[in-house]
Structure 1
Amino acid sequence: MMRILHVAAEGLPFVKSGGLADVIGSLPQELAAKGNDVRVVLPLYRKIACNYHQDFNLAAQYSVSINYREIPVSVWYQQVKSVTYYFVEHQGYFERDALYGYMDDGERFAYFQKAVIEMMNQLDYFPDILHCHDWHTGMIPAMIKETHHYDDRYAHIRHVYTIHNLAYQGNFGPEMLDSCLGLPWSVYDNGNVRFDGGISFMKSGILYADKVTTVSPSYAQEILTPQYGEHLDLVLRLREYDLWGITNGIDLEEWNPKTDPCLPYHFNKVNVKRGKSENKLALQKDMGLQENKDVMMVGVVSRLTWQKGFYLVIEQLSRLCAEPIQIMILGSGEAALEEKMYQLEAGNRGKIAFYRGYNEELAHRVYAASDLFLMPSLFEPCGISQLISMRYGALPLVRETGGLKDTVQPFNEFEKTGNGFSFTNYNSDEMMTVLEYAIHLYYDKKDDWRKLVQNAMNTDVSWEHSANHYMRLYQEVSKQ
C-alpha cells in the first residue's frame, strides 16, 4: 500500500472548469481501489462552500506567511467513497465568482501551496508520493526541496508533476519568490524558476519533480518541440527521460448511457440505434431543431477557444450549412467565437442550435443524441470528450494531435476497423473532406456506420489501464 496525496486546483465531484477536474474526480478513486491510501487537496471555492460546507469536518487550523504577514488557514475534510478530500479555506482568496483569472492569482496559489505543505505537518500525514497537477501546484516540489530538505519527514517524499495543459504556466513577477513563496533568490539566479524575466510555476514543477507526466503519449512527444512546447520545450528536453505520457480515462459510472439520469431514454450497445433516435428527437424538440430522427446530428461540447480549432469551422460555414446535418453546440469562450455561433444559429433556425455556457445535464444529452462529435483541435493534451462520445455511440471526428491521435483510430473501410474519423493537418478543407466522408457513410453505408458505432462503444475508455501505468510510475519513482 502506498500513501498518495494529489494536489490540484479543481476536482469533481466538487468543482469543475476543465478536464483537470475529471481526472481528480476519477484517478484517485481508481488508485484507492487498488488498495492505496489516497487523499486529495483542493482550494475551498465559493461554489464548494455553498454546496458542501455543511458536510465537512474541521481537520486543522494554523497560519502561513504571505507578504510578510501571517495569514490564517482552515483545513476541512470529507470522505468520498474511498478517498479523503481536504479543502484549504480562505474566504478572501477563494470565495470568488470564478476559480481563476484574477490579478492576484500568483499570491492566491502561493498561499494554497504553502498551506498544503504545512498541512502535512499539522496532520502528521506525509505521503510516499506527492502528485501535483498543473501550474497552480508547480512550486510545491521546489519549496519542499529548497526549504524543508532538513526534515526527514519531507525529504522522503517523492514528487510527481502532471502537465494537463502546457499553455497555462503560472508566470508571475520575481518579487513573489521572497514575499509569497519563501524561496531564496539563488533559485532565480541559477535559472531553476526564472522564466521570461519573472518566475514560472510550471517550469519549477517540471525541474523539481522526480517524474513529470502529461496526459497522453503523443502530447508528451509534441511538447518537446518548439511548435507545441510553449517556450518550455528546452526545459522539457532536459527531463525527457523522466517524462511519461499516460492517457486519461473517464468515470464509467457517471458516463453510462444505460443508467445516466440526465437522459430521457437509456440505451446500450444492443439498442443504441433506437436509443439515439429517441434522445435526438427529445433534444431537437427542446432546442428548437427540426424534429427528424434520421438526420445526422453533429455535437459539440467544448470551450470555444483558438486551441479547440473552431476557427476551422468558421472558415467553412457555407459548406457546413449546405450539408444534410444538424449541429448542436454547447460551450462558451472567446467573444468572437460566441458571436459567430449566435449568428450561425440565427441564420439557420431549425438546423443549428447554440447554448452558451456549460450545462451538465445538457452535455450528457448532447453526447447521447449526437451521431458525430466534432473536435478539430489545434492541440489537445488528452481530451475527455472523445472518450465520452465513444461511450455514448457518437463517433468522434478529430484532428490527429495529442490524446486525440492516441485514442481515436480512423475508420478503415477494408478491414472495418476504427472507432471514429480523423484528419492530419490543421486545415479546414481536410476537416470538411473527412466530415463529408462521414456523412456519406451515415446515409449510404449504414452497415459500416453500425460497425463503427459498435467499435466505438467497445473501446476501453476506463481508468483501469491508466491507473496501472501510474502505479508503475509511482513504484519506479519510489526506488529513487
Structure 2
Amino acid sequence: MTKKSVLFVASEGLPFIKTGGLADVIGSLPKELARQGLDVRVVMPLYLKMAINNHNDFDYVSSYDVRAGDIQSMANVYSQVVDGVTFYFIEHRDFFERDELYGYDDDAMRFGFFQHATCRLLEALNFFPNVIHTHDWHTAAIPFLCRTFYSYREEFRAIKQVFTIHNLAFQGIFHEHYLWAALGMDHGYYRDGVARFHDDCISFMKLGVLYADKVTTVSETYAKEILTEEFGENMQHVLELRRHDLVGIVNGIDYDTWNSKTDQYLVKNYDLSTIADKKANKLALQAQFGLPQDENVILIGIVSRLTWQKGFYLMTEVLSHLLQAHVQFVILGNGESDIENAFHHFKSAYPEKFAFYRGYNEPLAHQIYAASDLFLMPSMFEPCGISQLISMHYGTLPLVRETGGLVDTVTPYNIENKSGTGFSFGGRDAYSMKQVYDLALQTYYDRPEDWQAMIQQAMERDFSWTASAEKYIWLYREISG
C-alpha cells in the first residue's frame, strides 16, 4: 500500500533555522509522522545563515522559472534528508540571504515568490502529495493558489489542504496591490471580499483560513479563544465561518532534544528515579552567574522573548516585591527595551538574587530548565507554548497565566489533594500573579512533600509528539481518505 504523503511548507524549521516556536514544530512533528509511517517532506526558504552553515551538505535538486504577477525569477532548489524527512530549500539570494528572516518592506514579494516556487517545485518533482500542510501567514496563500492559479492541473486541485495558525497576531497584511504583484491573482478577489482585509489591504492568512480544508491551531483553548474579540485579532469573524473545520491540537516536545536523562548540556543528568541529582545543576548555574550557592533557595527560571505578549510588564510591576523573599532569579532572553532595562536595573540592585543574560544561548537554556525549581511564564496570550512542557519534563514546576495552551497543559496545584503539575492565575493584573507566586513559594518552603508530589506528576506526563502526531494523521485521513 502506498504511503500517505504530506508536504509541510514553512518559513523556518529546526535543525536549520529558528526565530520562534514554529521552528520547533517543523523540526519535530514531521520526524514523528515519518516514524509513524508517512512520507513526509518539508519546504523552506534557504536563508543566509543556512547558506553559510549548511549549503555544502545540501544536494542540488532542480532549477526553474517562477512567473506570477511582478515575479519573474529563477528558483534553485536543494535538499537534505534528516531523520527520515526530506527537506527542500528554495534559494533566491536577493530575497532570502539577508540578516533577518522577516520584517522587510518586500516581505509580500519574498513570500509570494516562496509560495509560487513551492507549487512549481511539485511540478518539477512530479510529486503531488495527498496533503499540503502550511504554517502561518508566510505559506497561507498556497491552498488558495492550488485552487485558483494552478487549478489548470487536476493534481493541484486534488491535494487536500491543512493550514495551521501558530500565532494569529501576525497575519501577512499587505496593500491590495500585492494580490497581483506577489500572488499573480486578479483584482476581482479583492473586490468580492475574498482576499480583502481592512481598508485597501489583503491578508495572506485570511486566504489560508478560507481555502484550507481544515484550519488548526496549536492548542484546544487557543482554538476557542481566537473566535472571540479579545483574542481574534480582527480575524474572528472570518474564523467563525470555519468554526466546524477549526481544530486545536496541542504541540509536543522533541524528546531527542529535551530529555533530562540524556541532555548533553547538563552538569548531571537525572530522571524521576534520580531526581536528587537535579540539585547539582542548580549549584552549577548559581556558580556560573555568581549567585550564592544554596541548594535550598527556590530558583526561578525564565527563558523567553521579553515582550508584552509574554507578560513581563506584569512581572516588572511587582518585581521589587517578588525579590523580598528568599529567592533567586535567572533570566535568559531579549526583547523590548523597557523590559530589558528593568531587568538590568534589578540585576544591579539585587546582585545576589537576580541574574540576567541578554540574548539567546542554547546550552544555557537547557541548564536553566534543569536547574530551576519554578519556571515563570505569565503570558498575556500563548497559542501553545513549549517552555512549560520542557520545564515540566525536567521536573521544574511552571507558574503560568491561564490562557491558550498553558490552560491545556498545566494542571494547577490543588492544596486539598496535593495534585497538580504547576501553578496558574487567571487575572490580567500584576496582583493576580503576585498572589499565586506567594502560594508557590509557600508550597516550596512549607509543604515540600506537596512540591515533590507535583514534580512526580509533572515528569510522568507524556509531552512527546507521539499523541499529537496521531491526531494529525487522523485529520489527514479524514480529509483525504
TM range (shorter): over 0.9
Q: How far did 1:187 drift?
A: 1.1
Equivalent in the alignment of 2:211: 208
Q: Could you tell me how far apart the structure 1 residues matched to 2:130 and 2:124 are?
A: 17
Q: Counterpart of 1:242?
A: 245
Matched, 1:144 2:124: no
What is the correspondence of 1:10-409 to structure 2 with a 5 Å cutoff? 10-65=12-67, 68-197=70-199, 198-272=201-275, 274-409=276-411
Q: Deviations over 1:263-300 (max 9, x none)?
A: 1111110121x322110111111112221111100000
Which amino acid in structure 2 is aligned with residue 301 of structure 1?
V
Provide the rounded CA distance (Å) in 1 between the counterparts of 2:187 and 2:277. 62
Larger displacement relative to structure 2 (383-392 or 288-297): 288-297
The DSSP-based 3-state class of the residue aligned with 2:134 is strand
TM-score by length of 2: 0.98
Q: Hey, what's the Cα distance between the residues in 1 that align with 2:429 and 2:195? A: 37
Deviation digits for residues 308-349 of structure 1 (CA, Å, limit 9, x no counterpart): 000110110221110211011111111111111111111110
Q: Distance in 2 between matches of 1:379 and 1:235?
A: 20
Deviations 1:1-60 (A, max 9, x none): 211000000101111111000100010011111111000011111111111111100111
Q: Distance in 2 between matches of 1:132 and 1:164?
A: 11
Give the 3 Å change call, closer, same or farther, for CA 301–40 of structure 1 in structure 2. same
User: How far apart are 1:446 and its partner, in Å?
Assistant: 1.0
Pick from 465, 468, 475 the counterpart of residue 477 of structure 2.
475
Give secondary structure in 1 for the equivalent of 2:254.
coil
Letter in 1 for 2:29: L
Counterpart amino acid of residue 207 in structure 1: L
Q: Residue 395 of structure 2 contacts residue 459 of structure 2 at CA under 8 Å; is this kept in 1?
A: yes
8 Å CA contact 2:71–2:109 kept in 1: the answer is: no
> What amino acid does structure 2 have at the position aligned with 1:266?
N
CA drift at 1:67: 5.8
SS in 2 for 1:474: helix
Aligned residues of 1:213 and 1:243 also touching (Cα < 8 A): yes
- 1: CA distance between counterparts of 2:289 and 2:74? 48
Q: Quick one: distance in 2 between partners of 1:37 and 1:368?
A: 35
1:147 alignment partner, SS class: coil
The CA deviation at 1:95 is 1.0
The answer as to whether partners of 1:390 and 1:456 remain within 8 angstroms in 2 is yes
Name the SS for the 1:224 alignment partner.
coil
- Distance (Å, rounded) in 2 between the aligned partners of 1:346 and 1:224: 44
1:255 and 1:283 map into 2 onto residues whose CA distance is 18
Which letter does structure 2 place at the counterpart of 1:349? P
TM-score, structure 1 length as denominator? Answer: 0.98
What is the deviation of 1:475?
0.8
Kindly provide the CA deviation profile for residues 222-277 of structure 1, in whole angstroms up to 9, marking residues without a partner as x. 000000000000000000000000000000111011110111111110121x3221
SS at match of 2:272: coil
Mapped to 1, the partners of 2:374 and 2:127 lie a distance apart of 47
Specify whether residues 66 and 157 from structure 1 end up closer, same or farther in structure 2 by C-alpha distance, changes over 3 A only.
closer
Match of 2:99, SS state, is: coil
* Contact 1:380–1:401 (8 Å) recurs in 2: yes
Q: Mind listing any 5+ residue stretches in structure 1 that lack a counterpart? A: none
Unaligned runs of 5+ in 2: none
Contact 1:65 1:180 in 2 (8 A): no
Instruction: Tell me if the contact between 1:258 and 1:266 (Cα under 8 Å) persists in the aligned partners.
Output: yes
Between 115-124 and 337-346, report the one with greater CA deviation: 337-346
For 2:339 and 2:226, locate their aligned partners in 1 and report how far apart those are by CA, in whole Å: 26
Give the counterpart letter for 2:347 in structure 1: E
Is 1:454 matched up with 2:456?
yes
Distance (whole Å) between structure 2 residues aligned to residue 232 and residue 48 of structure 1? 34
Counterpart-to-counterpart distance in 2, 1:383 and 1:179: 35
CA contact (8 A) 2:421 2:454 kept: yes
Larger displacement relative to structure 2 (2-11 or 178-187): 178-187
- More displaced 10-residue stretch of structure 1: 58-67 or 22-31: 58-67
Tell whether the 8 Å contact from 1:2 to 1:128 is kept in structure 2 after alignment: yes
Q: Which amino acid aligns with 1:148?
A: Y
Aligned residues: 478
Look up the SS of the partner of 1:182 in the other structure.
coil
Equivalent-residue separation in structure 2 for 1:192 and 1:323 (angstroms): 56
What is the RMSD computed on CA atoms of the aligned residues? 1.0
Asked whether the 8 Å contact 2:21–2:386 carries over to 1, the reply is: yes
CA distance in 2, matches of 1:317, 1:398: 16
Q: Report the secondary structure of 1:304's partner residue.
A: coil
Q: How far is 1:160 from its partner?
A: 0.3
Q: Secondary structure at the match of 2:309?
A: helix
Counterpart secondary structure, 2:7? strand
- For the 8 Å contact 2:71–2:181, the answer to whether it is kept is no
SS in 2 for 1:92: helix
Distance 1:283 1:66 in 2: 54
Amino acid across the alignment from 1:233: Q
Q: Report percent identity of matched pairs.
A: 52
